[in-house]
Amino acid sequence: MMDMLFQTFRLGRYDLPHRIVMAPLTRSRARQPGNIPSPMNACYYAQRASAAFIITEATQVSMQGQGYAWTPGIHSRDQVEGWRLVTEGVHKAGGLIFLQLWHVGRISHPALQPDGMLPVAPSAVQPKGMAFIENERGEGELVPFLAPRALQTEEIPYIVQQYVRGAKKALEAGFDGIEVHAANGYLLDQFLCSSTNQRADDYGGSVENRMRLLNQVVEALAGIWGPDRMGVRLSPMGTFNDIEDHDPERTFDLVASALNEYGLAYLHLVNPDVPALERGTEPHPRALRMLDTIHKQFRGPLIIAGGFDHETAESWLQLGRADLIAFGRKFLANPDLPERFCQHARLNADDPATYYGGGAIGYIDYPTLAQERGEEPRIQIDERWR
């Protein structure tokens, strides 16, 4: 019997050839100045076009939304033109590609903000940890986070408009769809979670208030793209970027129920117990209860990312825990990951030293099976990128 991983799937308006999705992966390789996607980025994504579909690296919807050095944006004309190189390359290689829209909120630093301003957040709660900035020598550097500035109520419609502008520019750039990044401790997640949202206005307090901004963003973007070309990413029970919700079961039960009403193409979850999968053990019962809760409330397709290999991905599909599985680091190092899974071939090991920043090394030089057989690569690499 064919693995469920290789069964076709209808996602919104698209027929997918299998269920192996490329997860969003920050790589910090946008061309400078201007945080502009380049021909090298187009090569990287085109190499991975055999994914069921690609979700791009998180892409800031404004200068204010940037939180890491050298990440791409979708708010300027030059960025749109750069992303068009990417979408054309992926389409020429036969793939589909969705843009992940991102505002980091407090997970930033004045060195990355327009005019050196403080990052914004639901509340002025300083995160633990370090920001990744470009220093005066043009090098990447880690510096402590500062306390952000709490957004005024009258500013919040402008945040929605940042997403609207990014969504419109994603259309111009030729993407097949968009994903709203509401996970991993970034701005929309900061509004959802009680530890970072201490507001007393219509955007704070109750879960219904805390999810108001996410609902407004999704509703506005559905009017631009149509919900059948949209997804949302959530990280229920996540703690990345020093975030926590005091009652995640109730919070994400209501969030999933609200998102279900839009008729989205999918909901994308960060696995609530990645370490268990990586250890080869069963997830914690609380994590499984969370997944069950979201399944009951959101009746559209569910994508789960985090810690999977071929065997565990197939198992979760068979158990009905997910409809598609997103792979990150395995796609990073294996541009032909679906073929390698299909043939049960050896996987390339990823190199953490080349995850962020740099050039072609550790980015577009991972070999495919065809190259290992001595065949010419399908996507040609310009020697100037090396």
Write out the catalytic residue numbers: 186
Q: What span, in angstroms and rounded, lies between the C-alpha atoms of 289 and 119?
A: 35
Determine phi and psi for 54, rounding to 5 degrees.
-100, 135
What does DSSP assign to residue 165?
A: H
Alpha-carbon distance values, 102 to 9, 193, 373 (Å): 27, 17, 39
- Structure tokens given for 272: 């609530």
Cβ of 8: how many Cβ atoms within 10 Å? 10
Distant-in-sequence, close-in-space partners of 218: CB < 8 Å, separation ≥ 6: 180, 230, 232, 259, 262, 264
Looking at this protein, which amino acid is placed at residue 71? T
Cβ of 108: how many Cβ atoms within 10 Å? 30
Q: What span, in angstroms and rounded, lies between the C-alpha atoms of 363 and 351?
A: 10
Looking at this protein, which amino acid is placed at residue 8? T
Residue 18: left if φ>0, alpha if ψ -120 to 50, beta else—which one?
A: beta
Distant-in-sequence, close-in-space partners of 141: CB < 8 Å, separation ≥ 6: 132, 133, 134, 135
Which residue carries 């009403």 as its tokens?
A: 261
Q: What span, in angstroms and rounded, lies between the C-alpha atoms of 291 and 303?
A: 11
